[in-house]
């Protein structure tokens, strides 16, 4: 994402007007969080506008399928995406640009096929929606590929196309669901899936245009043993994020709205709302923080590769460490400012909204937990910049164990304690991650020279 962050910075440097800043902020949010936005906003629009024009039972089944698809497509695709991100970076570094589009095709086949298969098996064995199995599995696979294509977005550098492709796909989905495809569950599924496929098709065509190749496939990423920690950490981290929700689903607070689809509605909807507050911070990190950190990291490693003197390398080391600390502090301030504004404005928004968000205390603690998770995400990205794969795997494992065990402890407590397991597990994991990151960054020279041939 740093690549497209530099492109957006150039636009800001040319025109510093408020309108241009807003325009760049909007585009950066779609570029960094496209699947989040297209899923959550479309979900809210559907809930507000489409629920009154379709059968209630059909609509509930559609929402159930959509939420499950959103969550589990993320969990299933994330380990592959972790590996593909690193492999794609390696291809760019060695300037094998002709392998980029074959990599996308190959990874789409793997992730899309696996997602379709897992979805079909679940629908067949655990639900009463077998007659809709093809459309449900197709939507699930499409969402998984949408997560995947975000990895390749940074190679395009065309932020306008990326933004408009997401907006256009989201608009098509809403129009189809509101005016045309709303008479059956199959139609609702098809309308939403068509919008996703339109977005994917536009970005896929651009990838093919920019990175023409004589080969069709590149499945090498599946057989690189050195990336196994990346695969495992990707799976464990996203499982850790959602594990508390799964525990609540099967507790005495959970309900089975449709056969095979368990929820804790008051908590689940709060989670989806709360995650909206990290979208601006993700964009801010991409444009302002990651680009600066990347430049300092590049200067540091270039000094080593070009065999500069130790004093020069130490100067770059100090600049890199300061960039890390400054970036972490800036992201934390930015995120918690948004969180504080959201919490203080909560009562007003709830009173003036027709949305049934549930309990204000739950939303408050979840907003804080999500904010902590955003800072944790940044720490993990910084660790990945130095290829600390095993450290991220340890952090992801700790996070999963903490969130799972604390939720088991809290699940039978009163409603006012919901969300605290997510908050405390994220807080503890963030604290431990900060210790690991500070130690590793402080000794960056030692680990760079001992772990690499320089």
User: CA geometry: angle at 225 spanning 223 and 230, to 5°?
Assistant: 105
Phi, psi of 275 (to 5 degrees): -70, -15
The overall longest dimension of the chain from CA atoms, in Å, is 72
Task: Give the C-alpha separation, 111 to 325, whole Å.
Answer: 36
Amino acid 294: pLDDT: 76
Task: Give the C-alpha separation, 222 to 227, whole Å.
Answer: 9
Q: Is the pLDDT of residue 305 over 70?
A: yes
Instruction: Provide the pLDDT confidence category of residue 304 given band limits of 50, 70 and 90.
Output: confident
Q: How far is CA 132 from the centre of its chain?
A: 28
Q: Where are the domains of the chain?
A: 2-223, 275-446
Phi, psi of 257 (to 5 degrees): -70, -40
Amino acid 1: pLDDT: 44
Segment 214-241 mean pLDDT: 92
In percent, the amount of the chain with pLDDT more than 90 equals 39
Per-residue pLDDT tens digits for 367-407: 999 999 999 998 998 888 888 889 999 999 999 999 999 99
Inter-axis angle of helices 185-210 and 56-93, nearest 10: 10
Segment 292-316 mean pLDDT: 83
Task: Give the C-alpha separation, 141 to 147, whole Å.
Answer: 10
Q: Which of 28-37, 212-221, 423-432 has the lowest mean pLDDT?
A: 28-37
**DSSP track, 93-131:** HTT-GGGHHHHHHHHHHHHHHHHHHHHHHHHHHH-S-GG
Task: Give the C-alpha separation, 275 to 419, whole Å.
Answer: 14
Q: Which residues contact 219 (CB under 8 A, 6 or more apart)?
A: 106, 110
Amino acid 6: pLDDT: 46
Closest by CA to 99, choosing from 222, 226, 216, 227, is: 216
The token duo for 389 is 């794969």
**DSSP track, 205-268:** HHHHHHS--S-----GGGG-GGGHHHHHHHHHHHHHHHHHHHHHHTSTT-EEEETTEEE-HHHH
Task: Give the C-alpha separation, 275 to 270, whole Å.
Answer: 9
Amino acid 23: pLDDT: 59
Q: Is the pLDDT of residue 45 over 80?
A: no
Per-residue pLDDT tens digits for 310-335: 888 888 888 888 888 888 898 899 99
Closest by CA to 266, choosing from 69, 68, 418, is: 418
Question: Which tops the pLDDT comparison, 52 or 203?
Answer: 203
Q: Which of 2-16, 189-203, 337-351, 380-394 has the lowest mean pLDDT?
A: 2-16
Per-residue pLDDT tens digits for 59-105: 888 888 988 998 899 999 999 999 998 899 888 888 888 899 999 99
Segment 354-365 mean pLDDT: 69
The answer to whether residues 376 and 392 touch, using CB atoms and an 8 Å cutoff, is no
């Amino acid at each position: 994402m740093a690549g497209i962050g530099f492109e957006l910075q150039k636009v800001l440097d040319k025109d510093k007007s408020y309108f241009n800043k807003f325009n760049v902020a909007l585009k950066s949010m779609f570029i960094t969080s496209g699947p989040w936005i297209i899923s959550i906003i479309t979900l809210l629009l559907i809930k507000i506008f489409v629920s009154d024009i379709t059968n209630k039972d059909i609509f509930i089944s559609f929402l159930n399928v959509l939420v499950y698809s959103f969550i589990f497509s993320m969990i299933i695709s994330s380990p592959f995406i972790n590996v593909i991100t690193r492999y794609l970076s390696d291809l760019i570094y060695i300037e094998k640009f002709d392998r980029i589009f074959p990599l996308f095709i190959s990874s789409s086949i793997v992730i899309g096929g696996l997602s379709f298969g897992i979805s079909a098996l679940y629908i067949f064995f655990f639900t009463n929606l077998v007659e809709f199995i093809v459309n449900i599995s197709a939507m699930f696979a499409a969402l998984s590929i949408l997560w995947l294509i975000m990895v390749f977005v940074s190679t395009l550098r065309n932020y306008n196309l990326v933004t408009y492709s997401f907006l256009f796909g989201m608009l098509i989905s809403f129009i189809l669901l509101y005016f045309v495809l709303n008479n059956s569950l199959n139609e609702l599924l098809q309308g939403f899936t068509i919008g996703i496929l339109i977005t994917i098709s536009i970005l896929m065509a651009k990838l093919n245009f920019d990175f023409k190749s004589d080969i069709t496939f590149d499945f090498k990423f599946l057989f690189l043993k050195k990336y196994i920690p990346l695969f495992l950490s990707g799976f464990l981290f996203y499982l850790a994020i959602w594990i508390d929700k799964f525990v609540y689903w099967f507790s005495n607070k959970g309900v089975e709205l449709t056969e095979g689809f368990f929820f804790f509605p008051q908590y689940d909807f709060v989670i989806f709302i709360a995650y909206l507050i990290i979208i601006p911070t993700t964009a801010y990190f991409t444009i302002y923080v990651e680009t600066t950190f990347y430049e300092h990291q590049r200067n540091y490693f270039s000094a080593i590769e070009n065999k500069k003197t130790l004093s020069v390398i130490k100067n770059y080391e100090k600049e890199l460490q300061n960039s890390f600390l400054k970036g972490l502090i800036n992201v934390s301030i930015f995120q918690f400012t948004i969180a504080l504004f959201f919490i203080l404005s909560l009562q007003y928004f709830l009173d003036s909204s027709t949305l049934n968000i549930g309990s204000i205390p739950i939303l408050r603690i979840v907003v804080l937990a999500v904010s902590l998770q955003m800072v944790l995400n940044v720490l993990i990205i910084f660790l990945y910049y130095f290829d600390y794969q095993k450290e991220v795997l340890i952090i992801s494992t700790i996070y999963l164990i903490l969130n799972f065990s604390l939720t088991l402890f809290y699940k039978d407590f009163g409603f006012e304690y919901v969300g605290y397991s997510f908050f405390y597990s994220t807080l503890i994991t963030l604290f431990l991650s900060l210790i690991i990151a500070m130690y590793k960054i402080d000794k960056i020279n030692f680990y760079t020279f001992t772990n690499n041939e320089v």
